[in-house]
Structure 1
Amino acid sequence: MLEIVSVSVFYEVAALLVLAAAVGLVGVLLRQPLIVSFIAVGILAGPSLLDIARSDAQINLLAELGIAVLLFLVGLKLDVKLVRTLGPVALTTGLGQVAFTSIIGFMLGLALGLDMVTSLYVAVALTFSSTIIIVKLLSDKREIDSLHGRVALGFLIVQDLVVVLAMLVMSGIGAGAQSEGSALADIALVFGYGLLMLLAVAVFIRFIADRLVERLARAPELLMCFAIGWAALLAATGDYLGFSKELGGLLAGVSLASTQFREAMAARLAPLRDFLLLFFFIALGASLDLSLLGQQIPAALTLSLFVLIGNPLIVLVIMGAMGYRKRTGFLAGLTVAQISEFSLIFAAVGVSLGHIGAETLGLVTLVGLITISLSTYMITYSHHLYAWLEPFLGPFERRNTSREVVGQSDHVEKRYDIILFGLGRYGSAITERLLQHDCSVLGVDFNPAVVREWQQEGLDIAYGDATDPELVASLPLAGVKWVVSGIPEHQTGVTHEDARLALVDALRSAGFTGRVAIAAHRGSDADRFAAGGADLILQPFRDAADQAAQLLLSDEAKGLSSREGDRAEAG
């Protein structure tokens, strides 16, 4: 059977897809994250076991396209004004995490009996976190637009820049003939190229993007082809100029984020992104050489614990010192609780240069396998983890959390008839109609861009997450008649945690005695929400259909009455 698979690349890809579907189904039945299942597919298909994944060039090509599309979609939803606001915390947290992780990792390496050069390599490898895995998880949880998601994306970009510098230094060492001045010149050249690319993207946004996309949108298929090509082009340009494909793909998305068709592009490209990223995780799993693990288990467990616990603590401390709440720092910190695929590449380069041995590559590989797998669960269960650990996190939050005050203090003394969570299309429509009927409404959303937009309209809105009990308890609940959840339905992998039911629990815990309404897009959820404490179930599609039917029947009745009257007059 394996001989047949190796005959053709098509047969190989077909076998990988079938294997991924089978393992993914087992993972879903066992309520495991698909990312873990797909990495397991890579390990099964890799050289250590079934040895199916042999066409490295083709698999890596699909994986790289997936990376470009993923970061392109993230860039499509980035708010440039918000990037300016979060820039300082992203830079401080990113550089601080890299510095502290490197120093502590180096000392841990020495304590484990590694020599200085090996300890240095291991320490640097521990600083990199996987942008691809984190962005994928946050996107699946719909938290990429939250404050902690935006902050995490910011310091991951800083990490990517550090990766570029580390690889440049390594390539300079590998060339051997380069002088220190030549290596510094290469680094300066890369930054110069980066500035030129940013300038080119700014010109494209200002003079070309809107007109070009408007013309392409006349043929939706052509618009999608352009979007994929544009993402791949800028990702390839970024790679060619010396910085990563990830940054190039991100810039491609940012360049089209101001166009009116960005939502259409995002909706159509999401399935393609998920399909292509399958090959990234397969390639990652297949690259893990299990034969190198050897006697590295004790050291790998020690370093893994540092990455899983120490890295989030470092981010939590830095963000707390900058005035962010402990919840935001905790959720953002969990995103750095793993090492990256670049960590394996960095260690492999060290082996090729003769600086470290193959056993060190095995150590980094095992740390990667442990931290990527466990951090996937940590990020997926992040809200549960926070609820368990919140009593111990008090020292990491300053009294003045000024960084997260988004107009909330202005609302504490006011009284409202209705508080509405989730200002998407449905929630916004409800709010507008309530305001037309002179109801006092306080909106709550966890997307900082939405909060700013509503504030500019002069409407009362607070930044916050419906699953945050502290936020719910701090709202002016006294006298509120209804709390309405317009939060859309989504699943979050392992936990399938429902933010709407979490909101009901938080309201009851806060002593709220009013009534709660929840929007449900499926009729099957009505009984579940009613049992969970909801007083009213809003079903947008059913309710709209009922109203449409009433309007049609009303018009028909009016038409029939009119025709009957005409006949009577004619008679």
Structure 2
Amino acid sequence: MDLNIVYSFFLIFSGAAVLASIALLTRQPLILAYIVLGAMVGPYGFSLIDNLQLLSDIAEIGIIFLLFLLGLDMQPSALLHVLRKATIVAFVSSLLFAAVGYSVALASGFTQTEAGVVAIAVTFSSTIIGIKLLPTTVLHHRHVGELVVGLLLVQDLIAIIALLILAAGDKNLSASNISLTFLALPMIIGGAYLVVKYVLLKLFAKFDRFHEYVFLLAIGWCLGVAEIAKTAGLSLEIGAFIAGVTIATSPISQYIAESLKPLRDFFLVLFFFSLGASLNIALLPQIAIPALILSLVLLAAKPTIFYGLLRMVKEDRKDSWEIGFRLGQISEFSLLISFLALSQKMIGEAASMLIQSTAILMFMLSSYIVVLNFQSPIAISDKLRRD
């Protein structure tokens, strides 16, 4: 690790500690402190840290661990049951969210192509925010947590299709690419299950006294399946989730989950920091009003649409509202869609900035709503704080 990385980590974690203290004293969500710090010391602020690509790559590991730990807490039978219901809600809600995003972007003066990209970008909810604010030991074993996870997983698959379409550009979309990607999913799940059953569980049972070995084997398995999934055209996050689910039935899964939590939190601080640092403040005056309008419309539309659809599939009224608010932001996939569409010259920099600004604004506002009203690990109220 060179001096530049050490200096960057010093600024990030020392600065985060200071701002997190202020956030807690003023009863604000900690995520807000990390994003604000990124905007302050990143290339568009005081420019104290400028190697954002490296930090972003490192931060992605936190997302991978987050999904791996989530998988460790999900029993395969419960997951299959909830996915059947989540698939219908996820597909219908995606179409409705896209219509909202397209309409607002078009009314704000963007071209039809740019409005189409904005529509795709606002379709999904954030896996990071949604799962980070789930109480691990309370909701994952309850229906609310299972539905949140199921909806996010189906949305991730839809997002992968959207990314494949954008990656194909305006020339031609290869249906075979999409078919191969979805054919790879059951193959990876089946292969992972066999490796766990005949190799990993035997190794865990034989060497469970060596805690560092269990730790290393778990990390290696998580990152290995994640890379296989990425190579097959899926995402690192889906691969990590599969890695976790396949060993969820093992008695050692809870020990692994507890061991990896500090590592996950370390990398997630970097993720939210890099998110704030990527915000180009100079362009804000140009897109501030459209971004604010789009954010507020979506913050109202997402919980309402989720509530209506979940009620249609016979979900409880209280649970439907809670799920809607927990998924009431747009996704980190939106940032990737924005970058890819800009590189393909499908949208201009203003449209890209609109997507980025809306994502960050909704991350913050949605986090406020959840932290102040529902159980979460970082709730300010003792009554709502659960992990």
Matches within 5 A, 1:61-80: 61-80=57-76
Alpha-carbon shift at residue 64 of structure 1 (Å): 1.8
After superposition, the Cα gap between the structure-2 partners of 1:188 and 1:491, relative to the gap in structure 1 and judged at 3 Å, is: closer
CA distance in 2, matches of 1:148, 1:36: 25
Alpha-carbon shift at residue 115 of structure 1 (Å): 2.2
Alpha-carbon shift at residue 219 of structure 1 (Å): 0.4
- The one-letter code matched in structure 2 to 1:365 is Q
Alpha-carbon shift at residue 243 of structure 1 (Å): 0.9
Alpha-carbon shift at residue 172 of structure 1 (Å): 1.0
Match of residue 516 from structure 1: none
After superposition, the Cα gap between the structure-2 partners of 1:294 and 1:141, relative to the gap in structure 1 and judged at 3 Å, is: farther
Alpha-carbon displacement from aligned partner over 1:119-162 (angstroms, at most 9, x marks no partner): 11111111122101211111368433331121011111111111
Asked if 1:327 is matched to 2:327, the reply is no
Asked if 1:112 is matched to 2:108, the reply is yes
What TM-score do you get using the length of structure 2 for normalisation? 0.94
Q: Is the 8 A contact 2:67 2:241 kept in 1?
A: yes
Alpha-carbon shift at residue 89 of structure 1 (Å): 1.5
CA distance in 1, matches of 2:342, 2:64: 29
CA distance in 2, matches of 1:156, 1:87: 10
Match of residue 231 from structure 2: 240
Instruction: Identify which range, 324-333 or 205-214, moves more after superposition.
Output: 205-214
Q: Which among 476, 482, 497 is matched to residue 383 of structure 2?
A: 497
What TM-score do you get using the length of structure 1 for normalisation? 0.64
After superposition, the Cα gap between the structure-2 partners of 1:372 and 1:85, relative to the gap in structure 1 and judged at 3 Å, is: same
Match of residue 258 from structure 1: 249
After superposition, the Cα gap between the structure-2 partners of 1:33 and 1:166, relative to the gap in structure 1 and judged at 3 Å, is: same
Alpha-carbon shift at residue 8 of structure 1 (Å): 2.4
Alpha-carbon shift at residue 188 of structure 1 (Å): 0.8
Q: What is the aligned length?
A: 385
Structure 2 spans left out of the alignment, 5+ residues = none
Match of residue 549 from structure 1: none
CA distance in 2, matches of 1:304, 1:139: 26
Alpha-carbon shift at residue 168 of structure 1 (Å): 0.6
Match of residue 163 from structure 1: 159
Matches within 5 A, 1:404-553: 492-498=378-384
Tell me which of the two structures has the higher relative contact order, counting C-alpha pairs closer than 8 angstroms and 6 or more residues apart.
Answer: 2
Match of residue 363 from structure 1: 354
After superposition, the Cα gap between the structure-2 partners of 1:382 and 1:186, relative to the gap in structure 1 and judged at 3 Å, is: same
Asked if 1:204 is matched to 2:195, the reply is yes
CA distance in 1, matches of 2:163, 2:33: 30
Q: Spell out structure 1 runs of 4+ moving beyond 3 A.
A: 139-142
Alpha-carbon shift at residue 264 of structure 1 (Å): 1.1
CA distance in 1, matches of 2:107, 2:130: 30
- The one-letter code matched in structure 2 to 1:68 is I
Alpha-carbon shift at residue 83 of structure 1 (Å): 1.1
Match of residue 376 from structure 1: 367
Alpha-carbon shift at residue 235 of structure 1 (Å): 1.5
Match of residue 43 from structure 1: 39
Match of residue 150 from structure 2: 154
CA distance in 1, matches of 2:266, 2:210: 24
Match of residue 24 from structure 2: 28
Alignment partner of 1:295: what SS?
helix
After superposition, the Cα gap between the structure-2 partners of 1:7 and 1:69, relative to the gap in structure 1 and judged at 3 Å, is: closer
Alpha-carbon shift at residue 240 of structure 1 (Å): 1.9
CA distance in 1, matches of 2:367, 2:227: 28
CA distance in 2, matches of 1:498, 1:68: 26
Q: Which among 269, 272, 297 is matched to residue 278 of structure 1?
A: 269
Q: Which among 78, 81, 85 is matched to residue 81 of structure 2?
A: 85
Structure 1 spans left out of the alignment, 5+ residues = 1-5, 384-466, 468-489, 501-571
Asked if 1:217 is matched to 2:208, the reply is yes
Asked if 1:194 is matched to 2:156, the reply is no
Instruction: Identify which range, 123-132 or 314-323, moves more after superposition.
Output: 123-132
Q: Which among 117, 120, 124 is matched to residue 120 of structure 2?
A: 124
Q: Is the 8 A contact 1:205 1:255 kept in 2?
A: yes
- The one-letter code matched in structure 1 to 2:169 is I
CA radius of gyration, larger in = 1
Alpha-carbon shift at residue 312 of structure 1 (Å): 1.0
In proportion to residue count, which structure has more strand?
1
Asked if 1:144 is matched to 2:140, the reply is yes
CA distance in 1, matches of 2:129, 2:365: 12
CA distance in 2, matches of 1:250, 1:28: 31
Alpha-carbon shift at residue 63 of structure 1 (Å): 1.1
CA distance in 1, matches of 2:120, 2:44: 27
CA distance in 2, matches of 1:143, 1:37: 25
CA distance in 2, matches of 1:491, 1:125: 28
CA distance in 2, matches of 1:497, 1:80: 31
CA distance in 2, matches of 1:21, 1:492: 15
Q: Is the 8 A contact 1:213 1:259 kept in 2?
A: no
Paired-residue identity, %:
29
Alignment partner of 1:301: what SS?
helix
- The one-letter code matched in structure 1 to 2:18 is A
Alpha-carbon shift at residue 491 of structure 1 (Å): 5.7
Match of residue 168 from structure 2: 172
